[in-house]
Structure 1
Amino acid sequence: MLAERVVEWTEKWKQQGLQQGLQQGRQEGIQEGLQQGIALGEITLLRRQLIRRFGPLPAWAEARLARASTEQCEAWADRLLDAGSLEAVLGSPE
């Protein structure tokens, strides 16, 4: 009888652990998705602003935008307000 209860409790704890793990995984996935969406939105907006101000972007600028972090996009967006050239915003081409 006790052995059966131990097995039952163990199974119950396993199920609870699995449910908690799934819930935590879902929450982390949602957060990561939101962060990626925000970063993509920032890059898209910055790209539009750069094109409007400086015209079509060269390949080096597109590549730099594609691998930019959120922090880098924010810094470039700040520079965009005062910059006289694309290079002044993103730096010189490599």
Structure 2
Amino acid sequence: MEQSNNPFAMVTLAHLHAKKTQHRTEDRYHAKWNLIRKLYQNGFNRQQVIDLFRFIDWVLHLPEEADKRLWKKIADFEERKKMPYISSVERFGQQIGEGIGEKRGIQIGEATILMRQLQHRFGTVPDWANEKIAKAEPPSLEEWSLRFVNAQSLDDVFSDKV
């Protein structure tokens, strides 16, 4: 299977490496790098490389620091080999970054609107509420925004009781 140029072999290998390297970041890093390198060397067409790359990246998820090292290694490899897929890999990385930025932007917007609503209705918002809103994920912000509609106090908005 290691020598195969069949896309399904790559998918199977990615899955096997994911199970084998669970909780072992360095082993997973090397397994992921080896699979990605094989994508370029096994004669896959451009779309297969992109699709398999996405799958491998998803299945063999790495912590942020190891992921950054890998992206650098891939870019260096592509540059040395004059690979035609660098723009595709870069675009994929850019899409990931844009998705993260978009999510963060939505979160900041929801937090800002909730703060304005609370200030308008209840006056000065205490530090504990500011901190809670600043650290909140979108589902909590949405829930608090809905509670705000009928809330008589800040406690009604942030209460754990529904």
Q: Tell me the TM-score normalised to structure 1 length.
A: 0.78
Q: What is the Cα-based RMSD across aligned positions, in Å?
A: 2.0
Query: Which of 63, 79, 86 pairs up with 2:147?
Result: 79
1:44-73: CA deviation from partner (whole Å, max 9, x where unpaired): 000000110111011110110010110001
1:13-56: CA deviation from partner (whole Å, max 9, x where unpaired): xx234322211001111111111111100000000001101110
Identity of counterpart residues, as a percentage?
35
Specify the structure having the higher radius of gyration (Cα).
Answer: 1
Correspondence for 1:68: 136
Alpha-carbon distance in 1 for matches of 2:149, 2:110: 15
Alpha-carbon distance in 2 for matches of 1:44, 1:16: 43
Q: Tell me the TM-score normalised to structure 2 length.
A: 0.47
Indicate the structure with greater helix content: 1
Which consecutive residues of structure 2, in runs of 5 or more, have no partner in the other structure? Answer: 1-42, 44-77
Count of aligned pairs? 82
